[in-house]
């Protein structure tokens, strides 16, 4: 036996001994965890259902739209049922009971597709109305990461409401990985929601967002503290954003008791932990900029006081 084989055998032996400690990360779960690729396939099919004119299967030309939709929906039901049978609690149920429960949930989810479609169409409209850089709705649907993150969240949220474990979070974390936008599937989001640019946005589980809300990159809608850990489960930890609110880049709004009233505008980099009344404008004033300078020259101070400069936007 050569030195490489000996080293490999030694390491394998050490790891097997360590696995005997039965830590959670080392449990052998070959057949009882959801398949990430299958979850992504489900999202791809759902995107085709919701935007049939944009993401249809171009290789299938002989079938009508009705037939195409039927095939896609049946495929989603089959794949979703299969994945849910893995994650649903089966401690006191037979395999047949779990499969039947998964099928019922899959059918209930399919019934929400018209609602998801209705909401996402308002999001497309909000993006077009709110972004002068958008040349068409086609551009938004094909290329805007914010719209994709919202679409996945709306899908995952309905599964979350149906009590499906693990899978909704896998969906939103996949969207997070491809867009840089982190929206928990528990977040409740109204119509005409617009995310501009989007990278670095974080929206927590118990966040409630009203209609006609616009959010820019780097915004956090988060909790004041998570030091309580699991003791905070199922408690309101994240803010409520009411209708017609605009939140500019880098702002952080924290806390389950924090309510941002209707028609509020939050300036860039604001840090907010208390409620804001309707119609208010919140901005960070008296910012001080310092530059490298020659020792013989004074530091230049610039106050950001003018109305036109109180927020930051690209």
Total-model pTM: 0.83
- The larger pLDDT score, comparing residue 66 to residue 302, is at 66
β-bridge partners, 281: 265
Q: Is the pLDDT of residue 4 over 90?
A: no
Tens digit of each residue's pLDDT (9 = 90 or more) over 167-192: 999 999 999 999 999 999 999 999 99
**Domains delineated in the chain:** 32-185 (1.10.3130.10), 187-314 (2.160.10.10)
Residue 309: what pLDDT?
A: 47
- Give the lowest-confidence range in 68-72, 171-175, 305-309: 305-309
Residue 6: what pLDDT?
A: 84
Q: Within 13 Å and on the Cβ side, how many CA atoms surround 98?
A: 16
**What confidence tier does 304 reach under pLDDT thresholds 50, 70, 90?**
very low
Q: What is the 3-state secondary structure (H, E, C) of 109-130?
A: HHCCHHHHHHHHHHHHHHHHHH
Q: Which of 154, 147, 187 is nearest to 171 (CA)?
A: 154
């Amino acid at each position: 036996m050569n030195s490489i084989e000996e080293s490999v055998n030694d390491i394998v032996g050490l790891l097997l001994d360590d696995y005997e400690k039965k830590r959670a990360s080392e449990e052998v779960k070959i057949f009882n965890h959801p398949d990430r690729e299958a979850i992504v396939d489900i999202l791809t099919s759902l995107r085709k259902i919701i935007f049939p004119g944009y993401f249809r299967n171009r290789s299938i030309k002989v079938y009508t739209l009705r037939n195409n939709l039927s095939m896609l929906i049946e495929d989603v039901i089959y794949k979703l049922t299969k994945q849910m049978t893995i994650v649903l609690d089966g401690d006191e149920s037979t395999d047949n009971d779990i499969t039947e429960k998964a099928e019922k949930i899959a059918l209930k989810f399919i019934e929400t597709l018209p609602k998801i479609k209705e909401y996402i169409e308002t999001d497309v409209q909000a993006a077009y109305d709110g972004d002068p850089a958008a040349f068409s709705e086609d551009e938004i649907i094909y290329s805007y990461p914010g719209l994709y993150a919202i679409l996945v969240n709306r899908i995952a949220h309905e599964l979350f409401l149906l009590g499906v474990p693990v899978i909704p979070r896998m969906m939103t974390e996949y969207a997070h990985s491809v867009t840089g936008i982190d929206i928990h599937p528990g977040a409740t989001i109204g119509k005409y929601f617009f995310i501009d640019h989007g990278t670095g946005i974080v929206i927590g589980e118990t966040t409630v967002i009203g209609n006609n809300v616009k959010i820019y990159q780097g915004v956090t809608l988060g909790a004041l503290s998570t030091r309580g850990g699991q003791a905070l489960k199922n408690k309101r930890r994240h803010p409520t954003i009411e209708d017609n609110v605009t939140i500019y880049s880098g702002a952080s709004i924290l806390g389950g008791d924090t309510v941002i009233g209707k028609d509020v505008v939050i300036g860039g980099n604001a840090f907010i932990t208390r409620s804001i009344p309707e119609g208010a404008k919140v901005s960070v004033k008296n910012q001080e900029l310092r530059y490298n300078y020659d020792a013989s020259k004074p530091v230049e101070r610039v106050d950001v006081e003018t109305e036109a400069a109180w927020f930051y936007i690209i």
